[in-house]
Structure 1
Amino acid sequence: MFGIPGKSPVTITPAAERQIVRLMAGKDSAGLRIGLKKGGCAGMEYTMELAEAADKADEVVEQGDARVLIAPMAQMFLFGTEIDYENGLLESGFRFRNPNVTDSCGCGESVRFEPLEGSRAEGV
């Protein structure tokens, strides 16, 4: 993981922690795997899935009984992200407050990152 020793790569709010624990218990999973894929109007979309087991390359973040597994190709893009869960009248869901995002679409479903120095492609 691209990180600072002793500092969690992502933070999880209490609301997100409660929701992750609920999801994990319902499926008896090892954690909520978070990643990125190409797509959406801004270029990249977050992915989330309940995982039966952690892959050895996953970065594992535990808070209480909640466990987040960060997919290898997403690790450098998610460092410093706060994961929250919001309940609203029209929609509820996880929210990512990611300081690495340089642009996002109007609906908030896709994001863009600056290309890595020396890379030929944007994103993952």
Structure 2
Amino acid sequence: MSITITEAAADRVQAYLASRGRGLGIRLSVRTSGCSGMAYEMEFVDELQEDDQVFEDRGVQVVIDPKSLVYLDGTEVDYAREGLNEGFKFNNPNAKSECGCGESFNV
């Protein structure tokens, strides 16, 4: 089981955490929603839950609950700018299809 983060994403997360002044890292999870069935969620983590799985890559802790890990195992978190758009992208090997915006997927 693994989750990785690119250098661009790590730099962005560390900048956000520094501007917030606190936080252990980011939490990735999935919920049922979106046009393809499952949607990614990302938020800051200030404290760990008992059953959290923690992955550290490039100095950033990525926290995932056990239910989401089944869908996110092997995912790479990236940060990209494309024209006027910028944001986090999820390169998920478990996704069989994604919606056009990349925010939801199907397994």
TM-score between the two structures when normalised by the length of structure 1: 0.79
Aligned positions of 1:106-121 closer than 5 A: 106-113=100-107
Q: Distance in 1 between matches of 2:58 and 2:3?
A: 14
Aligned positions of 1:2-81 closer than 5 A: 3=1, 9-27=2-20, 28-81=22-75
Higher relative contact order (CA 8 A, sep 6+): 2
Cα pair 2:89 2:102 within 8 Å, conserved:
no
* Residue in structure 2 matching 1:94, options 64, 88, 91: 88
Q: CA deviation at 1:107?
A: 2.0
Name the structure with the higher strand share.
2
Q: Which consecutive residues of structure 2, in runs of 5 or more, have no partner in the other structure? A: none
Q: CA deviation at 1:58?
A: 1.3
Secondary structure of 1:101's partner? coil
Q: C-alpha deviations, 1:16-35, integer Å up to 9, x for none?
A: 11111112222211111000
Cα pair 1:40 1:110 within 8 Å, conserved:
yes
Q: Distance in 2 between matches of 1:97 and 1:63?
A: 15
Q: Which consecutive residues of structure 1, in runs of 5 or more, have no partner in the other structure? A: 4-8, 114-124
- Point out the more displaced range, 95-104 or 23-32: 23-32
Q: CA deviation at 1:63?
A: 2.4
Q: CA deviation at 1:37?
A: 0.5
Tell me how large the CA RMSD over aligned residues is: 1.2
Structure whose CA Rg is larger: 1
